């Protein structure tokens, strides 16, 4: 029985049915549908925990996508607590710093704008405004839409290698581009990380005949599509 969402760590609602308990098959926070319990980090004495209850669900999803891409085992515990092996603590700290740094960049930019509004040098304010509106333009917007369509196709046909290649190519475009207007850099990075996680799930399925068809790929693609939906 799956107790915590493998993508965002939210606890699945549990209900009594017949002579046993069962959990809802779909996460109420991030929307991922987990048909089977994923492989979880086994308890040990060499573990590190991170309390992430104040993190938004999109950041937690980006974190688990990055852990999956780096083949780092983990599990979630009560209170949105992430558990990882102690030997990879430095690597996980780096991932956390990258995600937190992306959010802080946006905050720092806002603070700088407030300070510069009180300055008399209008030329400096204009330069700062030009930096703020710098974005990937129409090409980035098109890449985001293409990624949504590719994820939807993979969701319906997870075993099609051509569709997997198509999604990987669009993910490369996203990774090499600035975000489109109205999309924050941290959100843009999350889109790319989730796309990489779809490819990783496909590789795992292809390399293991006992993986249980293509459910993992389809679920990852659906999670990516649902994440992109508000932006396309």
Same domain, 58 and 149: no
Which residue, 76, 106, 134, sits at the end of a domain?
134
Same domain, 119 and 177: no
- How many Cβ atoms from other residues are within 10 Å of residue 139's Cβ? 12
Per-residue pLDDT of the chain (232 residues; tens, 9 = 90+): 456 777 777 776 655 444 444 445 567 677 665 555 556 788 888 999 999 999 988 888 888 888 888 888 898 888 889 999 999 999 999 999 988 877 554 454 445 555 555 555 555 555 444 444 467 788 888 988 899 898 889 888 888 888 888 988 988 888 888 888 888 888 888 888 888 888 787 665 444 444 445 788 888 888 888 888 888 8
Which residue, 97, 113, 134, sits at the end of a domain?
134
Contacts of 16 by beta carbon, 8 Å cutoff, 6+ apart: none
Residue environment code for 182-204, b if the CB has 16+ CB neighbours within 10 A, otherwise e: ebebbbbbbbbbbbbbbbbbbee
Its domain, for residue 192, covers 135-232
């Amino acid at each position: 029985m799956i107790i915590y969402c493998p993508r965002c760590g939210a606890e699945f609602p549990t209900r009594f049915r017949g002579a046993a308990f069962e959990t809802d098959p779909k996460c109420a926070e991030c929307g991922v549908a987990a048909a089977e319990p994923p492989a979880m980090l086994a308890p040990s004495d060499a573990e590190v925990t991170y309390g992430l209850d104040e993190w938004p669900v999109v950041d937690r999803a980006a974190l688990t996508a990055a852990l999956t891409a780096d083949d780092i085992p983990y599990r979630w515990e009560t209170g949105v607590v992430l558990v990882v092996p102690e030997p990879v603590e430095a690597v996980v700290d780096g991932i956390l710093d990258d995600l937190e740094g992306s959010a802080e960049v946006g905050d720092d930019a806002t603070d700088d704008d407030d300070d510069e509004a009180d300055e008399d040098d209008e030329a400096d304010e204009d330069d700062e405004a030009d930096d703020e509106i710098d974005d990937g333009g129409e090409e980035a917007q098109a890449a985001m839409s293409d990624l949504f369509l590719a994820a939807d196709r993979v969701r319906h046909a997870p075993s099609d290698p051509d569709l997997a290649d198509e999604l990987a190519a669009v993910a490369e475009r996203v990774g090499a581009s600035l975000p489109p207007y109205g999309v924050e850099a941290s959100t843009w990075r999350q889109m790319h990380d989730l796309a990489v996680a779809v490819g990783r799930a496909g590789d795992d399925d292809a390399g293991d005949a006992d993986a249980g068809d293509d459910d993992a790929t389809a679920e990852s693609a659906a999670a990516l599509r649902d994440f992109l939906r508000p932006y396309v």
